[in-house]
């Protein structure tokens, strides 16, 4: 009897390993949560990078459609996506950048080095806005329509085709 008790922790560990392993094998890692699509843009006020004055994303949405891009200076995929965002600068779509969990001086250095494609850059130093949006990692881009509803979400670096599709939704 005591011998079986000695093997109980090992049996439990093996059972848990099988349970988690089978769950992982049956889970699609490409599924992207789209919880906010069709919902109003979250009510968050964030300071601007330039002056530090708080700005309401809801108020910005009321000014017309926009792309909201979460990025960071420490994010390698953000640097890969940056030329695509620069290509949107001359287009009739407004792109708002949110520096996610980044120090303002690092964000400014990043934009100085690569160029600033954003109509406005907001700072989400503590990641609160990212939580409200449901950000799973940077870069992520959201399309916000004229009515303030989130129309689409794109996770990962934008390609030219992605940018054209999202910009088309924002018009």
Confidence at 91, pLDDT banded by 50, 70, 90? confident
Task: Please give the C-alpha separations between residue 95 and each of 16, 34, 60, 87, 140, in angstroms, as whole numbers.
Answer: 46, 20, 11, 11, 12
The residue whose two tokens read 């129309």 is 151
pTM: 0.80
Mean pLDDT across the chain, nearest whole number? 89
Mean pLDDT for 71-87 is 96
- Tokens representing 88 are 């949107």
**What tens digit of pLDDT does each residue of 115-131 get?**
999 999 999 999 999 99
Confidence at 10, pLDDT banded by 50, 70, 90? confident
Whether pLDDT at 6 is above 80: no
Mean pLDDT for 10-14 is 79
Confidence at 32, pLDDT banded by 50, 70, 90? low
Query: What is the enclosing helix (H) or strand (E) of 20?
Result: helix 2-25
Whether pLDDT at 48 is above 90: yes
CA gap 67, 119 in Å, rounded = 10
The secondary structure of the chain in percent helix, strand, coil, rounded to multiples of 5, reads 40, 20, 35
Residue ranges of the domains in the chain? 45-169
Output the CATH code of domain 45-169. 3.40.30.10
Mean pLDDT for 50-79 is 94
CA gap 162, 144 in Å, rounded = 15
CA gap 139, 72 in Å, rounded = 8
């Amino acid at each position: 009897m005591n011998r079986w008790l000695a093997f109980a922790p090992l049996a439990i560990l093996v059972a848990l390993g099988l349970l988690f392993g089978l769950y992982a094998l049956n889970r699609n890692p490409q599924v992207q949560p789209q919880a906010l699509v069709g919902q109003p843009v979250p009510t968050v006020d964030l300071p601007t990078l330039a002056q530090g004055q708080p700005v309401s994303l809801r108020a910005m949405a009321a000014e017309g459609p926009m792309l909201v891009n979460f990025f960071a200076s420490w994010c390698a995929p953000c640097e890969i996506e940056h030329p695509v965002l620069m290509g949107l600068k001359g287009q009739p779509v407004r792109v708002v950048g949110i520096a996610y969990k980044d120090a303002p001086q690092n964000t400014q250095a990043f934009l100085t080095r690569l160029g600033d494609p954003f109509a406005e850059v907001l700072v989400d130093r503590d990641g609160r806005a990212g939580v409200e949006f449901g950000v799973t990692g940077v870069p992520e881009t959201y399309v916000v329509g004229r009515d303030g509803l989130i129309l689409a979400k794109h996770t990962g670096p934008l390609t030219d085709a992605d940018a054209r599709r999202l910009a088309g939704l924002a018009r």
